[in-house]
Structure formats: C-alpha cells, structure tokens
Amino acid sequence: MTETKKEIIVTGKEKPRIGVYVCHCGINIAGVVDVVKLKDYALTLPDVVLAREYKFMCSDNGQSMIKEDIEAGLINRVVVAACSPRMHEPTFRLVCKEAGLNQFLFEQANIREHATWVNMYDPEGAYEIAKDHIRMSVAKARKLLPLEVQKVKVDPSCLIIGGGISGMNSALDLADEGYKVYLVERTPTIGGHMAQLDKTFPTMDCSACILTPKMVDVGRKEKIEIMTYSEVVDVSGYVGNFEVTIMKKPHYVDQEKCTACGSCAENCPITCGNEFDLGMGTRKAIYIPFPQAVPGEYTIDMEKCIKCGICAREDVCEPGAIKYDDKPEYVTVKVGTIIVATGWDLYDPTELGQYGYGRYPNVITGLQMERLLSSFGPVLGKPVRPSDLEAPHSIAFLQCVGSRNFREGGHSYCSRVCCMYATKQARQYKEKHPEAEVYIFYMDIRAFGKGYEEFYESAAENFGISYVRGRIAEVREGENHNIVIRAEDTLLQTPIELEVDLFVLSCGLEAKADADQVASLLSIQRSADGFFMEAHPKLKPVDTLTDGIFVAGVAQGPKDIPDAVAQAKGAASSAAALMAQGEVEIEPYYSVVIEHLCSGCRTCQSLCPFGAIDFDEFKKIAVVNPALCKGCGTCVSACPSGAMVQNHFANFQLNSIINVAVKQPTVENGGK
Amino acid sequence: MSDNVEKYIKRKVHKGMSTKISQKFIDAGLEKIRACINCGTCTGSCPSGRRTAYRTRSAIRKALTGDESVLEDIDIWMCSTCYYCYERCPRDIPVTDMIIKLRNIAVEEGFILDSHFTLASDIFYATGHGVPANDPEAHKQWRALRESYGLPPLPPTVHSYPEAVKECQTLMNEVGFRALLDNAAKLKAKRKAEAEKIAKEKTEEEKK
C-alpha cells in the first residue's frame, strides 16, 4: 500500500472537477458498446474536466491512472463507469483515499450489469443505457459531499447458531484463538445430523468415533458456552456489537442437581417415538436423545408427559432435580460476530406418491436406513424391513429423490451427498449380507470428492452392487409387502420390472423449515434454493451481506462433511479476522436531523426499525445514533417537515439523478 | 475402414441440435426438450410401452439427434396421451406434447398410417364427423340407443344439418387441414413409387 498523500480538502463549495473513467472490462463492456464514444460523451457533461477509458480500471494500472489525476490536482470527484459497485466500490474508494481525496467523493456507474450484459444483443440500446448511467452518476457526483468514516469496536465474542459438525468446528477454532463463543443449539444435545450417521464415506470411519471426541472437546473448552435446548429469539445491534436474546427452553429438570443417573427414564411409564431414530426407536417422556449426548442433560418432553409424578418421587430421583414448574429463561449476550450453522432438513418424499413412501411399510428414507445400519440404532446395526422385521434379501436404492427435480415441490439443485451415502449404505449391507441383491437406480453418479470415485468403483467391483441407469417411474406393493419397481434401464433402452424386499429413497437435503424466520431475525438473505446466501459465490463464500454475520455448513447449501467442516473453519477464520482488528469501519450513511426544521413529532422514532432514534427532551427534537442507524431511509421519507437527511443519499443528491434521468433541465430542489 | 465393416456396424450419426426436426420443436416453443437428461422416467411410466415397442425416451432422443427414421416408426402412434410421462418428468418437460408434435411433423413429412388417412380424409373431412352415426345399417343401434333416452336419433350436428358439411370443409380448408392431407398423400405416394422402383431394380439385378 502506498503512503497516504497530502489530503485534498473538498468542502463541497468549490467548483466540482469530475474525472470520468470508462472501463472496457475486457470485452464485457467494450465488446458491446463503443467505450471511446462513451468517454467522449462524458466530456460533454457539466463539470467533467477529463475522461479516460482503459481495459481494466480495477487493475493496478487503471487504479494509478485515477490516482495520478487526483494527485496532480486535476480532479476533485471521481466517476468510474464499470461493473456493479458491490465488488469494486471499495477498490476505487481506497484509490481516492490513498490519493488524498475523501472516499465518498466517488460514484460508480454500473454499465456492465445494467447495460451491456442484459442488452448483449442490442448494442445501440446498451449504449443509450450506458450513457444514461454515466449522466446520472455525474449528476450525483456534482452534489457529493465529503463524509467521515465511523469506527466501532468489535466485541471479541461470537454467537454460533447450530451445534452440528459445522458449528462445533467453528466454535473450537474460535475458542482456540481466544475468543468467547456462545454455541446455541435448539435440541437437547450438540452433534447435529452427523451423530445420526453410522459410518462416513469414503473412508468408512465410524461417525460416532470421530464425532463424539469433538463433542466432548466442545463441552470441555472454557471459552465455549454451550446453550443447548435454546433458541435465539432476538438479534439487535450491528457488526461488532450485536445484542442477542436467547431463550433457554425449560428442561423441567434442575441440571445443577441432576446426576444423570437415568433412574427417572427407567421408571417413566410413557414410551414414545425417538426423534433421533426417526421414530423407529423409542424413548421415554423423560430422556436424553442418545447415550453420547453432550451435555448429557435429561429433559422432560411435556407434550408426552402425563405428570404422573413418578420421576419426581424421592426414591426415583434422590437429588430432587425434577422441576415441573420450570419456566423458559431469557439470556442476553453481547457478541461481535455471528456464525449461522443451522444445518438442514431431509426432503420429505411423501408428496411423491409414485414412490409409495408413507403408504407402503417397506419404503424408507436414506436417513432411516442410516439409523437401521447404526450400531447404536434401533436394530443395533442389523437392518430389517419394517413390515416383518426380517433382513431383506434384495434392496433397491433410488437416487435424486427431491433433488434435481424441476417440478413444483422438488429442488432443482443436486444434494451432493446422496450418491455417496447410498453407495456406502449398499456396501455396508453387502458387507453383512454378501448374498443380498443390492441395486442403485441413478441418473448420474456424482463421485466428485477426494477418494469418492475409487469408493464407487470398489462398491461395484468388490461388493457387486448393481448400478442401474434409470430413474424409477413408479412402485407398487406386491405379495408379502414386497415392492415392485417399474423403471427404464436406459442403457438397455427397455422398461424393466423388479421386485425387491426393501426400497430406500435417497432423499436430498433442503433448507431448514424455519430458515425464513432465521433470515429475517438476522437480516440475512436466502438464495432461490432456500439456503442462506453468501456475499459472493466465489470470493466471499462464508460471508453474508450483513456485516459481521457469517454462514457455515449446509445452512449455505448442500455439503458433505469435509466441505462443511472446511467452510466452518473458513467462517471461524473470517469472524476471527474481524475480531482481531478490534474495530471496524462502518459507512457513514446514517441520517442527520436538521435541528431547526424538526418539530419533535416523534414519527421517525416510532418507525425506526433499529431503535436508532432518541428524543432530546430538552431541545424537543429527534436525535439519531449513528452507530445504530443502518441508513434505511425510513425516517427520511416519513418526516413531515423534511428535517431528516440521509448522508450520501440526501434529497438534493437523489433529485439531481432523477432530473437528468428524465432528461429535463436541472431543477435545484430544496433540502440543501 | 473397409466397406465391409461399415456394412455390418451401423453407425448412428449425430446431427447436432440444429436439424430440421429439432428446429421444428423449437419453433413450436418446445425447446425445453433440450434439457432432457435421459433418466427414463417417461419410458418407465408408460402404460403403452409396457405392452408395445413404443419407447418414449428413445423416440424423443432420436428426434432430438436428427434421426428422421423416428418419423416413419409406427411406435410413435402407440402413445395414448395419458400424460404420466409429463406428470413425472423431473425436468418438467411436456413429454406428451413432444410426442404429439412429433406426430404432427411425421404427417407433414408424409408419414401417415393408412387407417389414419382414411379417418381424416374419407370420414372426418367428407362427413364433418370423426365418428359418424348416420350409416343406415351399421349405425342403427346407436340411433336406437339415443332414442331410448328420449333423444332425437341424430345429434344436432352436420348429421341433422347436412348443408353444414360444406361449412365444415371450408373451415378445414382455411386452417390448411386439407392441404396437409393432400401433401401427406402426395409424399406418401412418391415414397411408395420410389420404393417399388428400387425393389424392381433389385429383383431384376438378382435375375441377372
């Protein structure tokens, strides 16, 4: 970085001298419109003193062109006509800053996304639109005022939402770096979906064996405060200074007193389906989800409990830990950063009537198969079919259930894990039953990860799993609850019919059912597939568009365990980078009250979604807290006396754009 | 490669996506067919394909890759338009509409079955009815059935108003239905003559 040059003082009163820089963006812009003509056009605009074009304005050479012009005193405002400001506005602002010009005297005209990309086949139209954008940006640049960047402290603490393998990895990394971590998990234990898996592909590691030590680690770390059976109910504040309210759901068991002896569960008369085993196993109304749960805290499921009082008896619970009148507890913590690792739900195949899930007992999902295969699952790792509890002789797996399906109710994306988990489950079954017939019906096998293709090859060669290329069209129930499959073997180009004992649907992953609520709670975006959206698909894969909030694991999109862990560590690293700086710059786009115009009606105060407006009882006027204001502009549009001005987006600046956009002579508006 | 090998190994020639047939699909707004991933759900779902040689996916794939032999294949007329394939296609491709379009193209190219031609030309065009009910002897029972329900023996269509047949024919001429049939008949006759000529030459050659 070059040394910051002597500052060029611009107060907004001297005559604007604007430099316009038109970027070719390779052929993205120059391939559609004539950039030299655009440059010449810019020179005809008021207050434009120079205009240049260059192949890549964002390159080192392009940046120094701007810098040299500023340093030579030729210009005091900069307009770059190039791409979307999302990527390069910070780049060019830094150029201005380094050259000694206030960085808010810069304006970017987006002639790539808004003109040449969308009108690739209409060069003349694109040229006209590009001209409009340049004219509007120049108009705004004439009215720009220098602003000062705000700096706020970043609290060295992180809230991680979701205690699966992603959240745990982020938590461990951040704790090792010395930051305080609040790990909030909705269910009574951390571990997430990985705890439900039996083995992991392609190495056939026992999932529990590699997961439970991590869970114990998380539990032991002093810097990590695990809040299981808890939910985030409110988030306020801004980057570096979030205030988070967490509801700890009542366990109805005093965890301080409970010794986890298990006597209560032994004596509880209520038996119900266990969520952890997807309803295929049982638990009591007072329970821990599975033996290795961390923390091993007992919880009463009040929906199932009949309040018989047995567990509370002194001879059952000696320490007297049962607390039927337990209430939810609300905790407020202050954190600097947030990592969202809320994970995924399994696609529900009930809607796909042709596969008979929910109608025929011997149709199960891949995750149910996983529990059947698990050594601590409902059948201790010896899969049986639900109708008669016999070990199936033949099993068919169907891939892409709910995934790669462009119909309503399906997901168009590939879930990335199903090919491998089906292959793994098929292989596990063949290991135990070499005589069994196992078929996998697929459209494409996607074995893209490290060691995956080899795993696929070995499943076919060494274990004799039959791969059939064809998506199953429909199934019906044959004799003895067997499943009769109809499909086309597309490689033989012939319809086939096949009777199997057990039919496994390799269901895909989908966004959590309440992802929309989480998104609005945190003000983060979701992409079209329902998962949380990253700030940039390639270069900012763990950031969200809200500063200080990061995303990890399947919450961002389907991933296998290695990818989820990698992203979790990336999110932890990004969060740590922010916290290590100790303070962060926030854009000064806050609202300002013009005191002599404010009538003190308090309209703005009631409307502000961020609680950023206070009322000065002495002066009887509104006061904006710049640190809390997000610059949404609600108060500006609501103020009946025009007393609110939003920095960088003031009425006179926006009006100047509108005036030239509609090609009318400039009408100077009030609000100055 | 010797000619001999070429004789025994039939090579499929892919003609890309810009052939006459695929262009006709695109012109009809059915370019979605290009998204097909050949999963076989359509063929697997097809109740007709379970009983006949009709293979939905293969027919469409042939059409897409410019294999015009699919047009003369009588299997494409085996589809009962039950819409199972359309209902289940994971790419949301209107498969049934494709088959109907394929038949349209086939007829345009003169590949029409004799029975279909007779129905379209001699019955539908001539009488204005797809299923006529006015034959004095053969359709007697239907008229009796109608009367047993208290209905007039003939429906209030061209059967009751014979002068309207002309109007129906005018309509069919206007939309090009007659021209389509005439063209199909012409192409079919031409093709038949060519085939006969080749067969004749062949037998003569064999005689020599």
Q: What is the pLDDT of residue B186?
A: 95
CATH class of A591-647: alpha beta
Q: What pLDDT, in 10s, does the model give residues A74-91?
A: 999 999 999 999 889 999
Q: What pLDDT, in 10s, does the model give residues A484-538?
A: 999 999 999 999 999 999 999 999 999 999 999 999 999 899 999 999 999 989 9
- Residue A152 has φ and ψ, to the nearest 5°, of -125, 150
Q: What is the pLDDT of residue B11?
A: 65
Helix A35-43 vs helix A123-143: crossing angle, to nearest 10: 30
Q: Beta-carbon neighbour count of residue A26 at 10 Å?
A: 10
Is there a single domain that holds both residue B15 and residue B56? yes
Q: Inspect the interface and report whether the beta carbons of B90 and A410 lie closer than 8 Å.
A: yes
Q: How far is B73 from chain A (nearest CA, A)?
A: 16
Q: What is the pLDDT of residue B165?
A: 93
C-beta of residue A375 within 8 angstroms of C-beta of residue A431: no
Assess whether the previous peptide bond of A202 is cis (omega < 30° from 0).
yes
Q: Which residues in chain A have Cβ-Cβ distances shorter than 8 Å to B47? A: none
Helix (H) or strand (E) holding A19: strand A18-23
Average the pLDDT over A616-636 and give the result: 89
Q: What is the pLDDT of residue A554?
A: 97
Question: Is residue B140 in a domain?
Answer: no
Q: What is the pLDDT of residue B66?
A: 82
Pairwise pLDDT comparison (A9 vs B55), residue with the higher score: B55
In B, what residues contact A, Cβ < 8 A? 35, 37-46, 49-50, 55, 57-58, 84, 88-92
CATH classification at residue B77: 1.10.1060.10
Q: How many domains does the structure of chain B reveal?
A: 2
Q: What is the CATH number of domain A18-149?
A: 3.40.50
Q: Distance between terminal CA atoms of chain B?
A: 30
Long-range contacts of A271-274 (CB under 8 A, 24+ apart): A272/A301, A272/A304, A274/A378
Is there a single domain that holds both residue B175 and residue B85? no
Q: Inspect the interface and report whether the beta carbons of B40 and A486 lie closer than 8 Å.
A: no
As averages over each run of 10 residues, the pLDDT of chain B (208 residues) reads 61 70 85 91 95 94 86 92 95 94 93 92 90 86 92 90 93 95 94 92 87
User: What is the Cα A635 distance to its own chain's centre?
Assistant: 29
Question: What is the rounded average pLDDT for all residues in chain A?
Answer: 93
Q: What is the pLDDT of residue A117?
A: 95
Q: Which residues in chain A have Cβ-Cβ distances shorter than 8 Å to B89? A: 407
Q: pLDDT at residue A244 above 70?
A: yes
Average the pLDDT over A430-451 and give the result: 96
The answer to whether domain A157-249+329-343+514-582 and domain A345-510 are alike in fold is: yes
Interface A-B, measured as beta-carbon pairs within 8 A, has a size of: 71
What is the domain partition of chain A in residue ranges?
18-149, 157-249+329-343+514-582, 251-326, 345-510, 591-647
Question: Is residue B151 in a domain?
Answer: no
Q: Alpha-carbon distance A170 to A192, whole Å? A: 14
Q: Inspect the interface and report whether the beta carbons of A490 and B38 lie closer than 8 Å.
A: yes
Q: What is the pLDDT of residue A145?
A: 92
Is there a single domain that holds both residue B64 and residue B118? no
DSSP notation for B9-43: SPPP---TT-SHHHHHHHHTT-GGGGG-----HHH
Q: pLDDT at residue A11 above 90?
A: no
Q: What pLDDT, in 10s, does the model give residues A399-433?
A: 999 999 999 889 999 999 999 999 999 999 999 99
Q: Inspect the interface and report whether the beta carbons of A488 and B40 lie closer than 8 Å.
A: yes
**B19's tokens:** 């052939």
**B50's tokens:** 């379970």
Q: How far is B38 from chain A (nearest CA, A)?
A: 7
Q: What is the pLDDT of residue B10?
A: 63
Give the least confident one: A460-469, A595-604, B8-17.
B8-17
Residue of A nearest to B42 (CA): A473
Q: Which residues in chain B have Cβ-Cβ distances shorter than 8 Å to A469? A: 40
C-beta of residue A216 within 8 angstroms of C-beta of residue A225: no
Q: Which residues in chain A have Cβ-Cβ distances shorter than 8 Å to B90? A: 400, 404-407, 410, 443, 471
C-beta of residue A319 within 8 angstroms of C-beta of residue A283: no
Question: Is residue B148 in a domain?
Answer: no
Question: Is residue B154 in a domain?
Answer: no
Q: What pLDDT, in 10s, does the model give residues A43-52?
A: 999 999 999 9
Question: Is residue B104 in a domain?
Answer: yes
Is there a single domain that holds both residue B13 and residue B104? yes
Q: Inspect the interface and report whether the beta carbons of B55 and A488 lie closer than 8 Å.
A: yes
Residue of A nearest to B85 (CA): A473
Calculate the CA dihedral of residues B31, B32, B33, B35 and round it to 10 degrees: 120
* Confidence label for A5 from pLDDT (cuts 50, 70 and 90): low
Q: Which residues in chain B have Cβ-Cβ distances shorter than 8 Å to A495? A: 43-44, 46, 49-50, 55
Given B41, B75, B108, which residue is the final one in a domain?
B108
Q: Inspect the interface and report whether the beta carbons of B49 and A495 lie closer than 8 Å.
A: yes
Is there a single domain that holds both residue B17 and residue B50? yes
Alpha-helix residue ranges (DSSP H) falling in A494-586? 515-522, 561-581
Q: What is the pLDDT of residue A291?
A: 86
Q: Inspect the interface and report whether the beta carbons of B92 and A407 lie closer than 8 Å.
A: yes
Answer yes or no: CATH 3.50.50.60 is held by domain A345-510.
Answer: yes
Q: pLDDT at residue A649 above 80?
A: yes
Q: What is the pLDDT of residue B19?
A: 77
Q: pLDDT at residue A143 above 50?
A: yes
Q: Beta-carbon neighbour count of residue A54 at 10 Å?
A: 19
- The string over A376-395, giving b where at least 16 C-beta atoms fall within 10 Å of a residue's C-beta and e elsewhere, is bbbbebebebebeeeebebb
Q: How far is A460 from chain B (nearest CA, A)?
A: 20
Q: Alpha-carbon distance A103 to B118, whole Å? A: 81
- Strand A282-284 with A271-273, pairing: antiparallel
Average the pLDDT over A593-615 and give the result: 91
Is there a single domain that holds both residue B78 and residue B128? no
Average the pLDDT over A13-19 and give the result: 90
DSSP class of residue A5 equals P
Q: pLDDT at residue A670 above 50?
A: no
Is there a single domain that holds both residue B101 and residue B169? no
Q: Which residues in chain A have Cβ-Cβ distances shorter than 8 Å to B53? A: none
Q: Alpha-carbon distance A232 to B52, whole Å? A: 60
Is there a single domain that holds both residue B28 and residue B76? yes
Q: What is the pLDDT of residue A669?
A: 46
Is there a single domain that holds both residue B177 and residue B124? yes
Among partner residues B40, B46, B55, which is closest to A471 by beta-carbon distance?
A: B40
C-beta of residue A570 within 8 angstroms of C-beta of residue A337: no
Among partner residues A471, A493, A496, which is closest to B41 by beta-carbon distance?
A: A471
3-state helix, strand, coil in chain B (%, to 5): 60, 0, 40
Q: Inspect the interface and report whether the beta carbons of B37 and A443 lie closer than 8 Å.
A: yes
Helix (H) or strand (E) holding B194: helix B177-207
Which residue range is the domain that position B72 belongs to? 8-108
In sign, the C-alpha dihedral spanning B129, B134, B139, B140 is positive
Is there a single domain that holds both residue B104 and residue B189? no
Average the pLDDT over A640-650 and give the result: 93
Q: What is the pLDDT of residue B180?
A: 95
Q: What is the pLDDT of residue B13?
A: 66
Q: What is the pLDDT of residue A663?
A: 65
Q: Alpha-carbon distance A234 to B20, whole Å? A: 61
At the fourth CATH level, the homologous superfamily of domain A157-249+329-343+514-582 is FAD/NAD(P)-binding domain (3.50.50.60)
Q: How far is A414 from chain B (nearest CA, A)?
A: 12
Q: What pLDDT, in 10s, does the model give residues A51-66?
A: 999 999 999 999 999 9
Is there a single domain that holds both residue B104 and residue B126? no
In sign, the C-alpha dihedral spanning A579, A581, A587, A590 is positive
- Residue A499 has φ and ψ, to the nearest 5°, of -105, 125
- What is the percent of chain A with per-residue pLDDT over 90, rounded to a whole number? 88
**B145's tokens:** 């059935």
Q: What is the pLDDT of residue A1?
A: 43
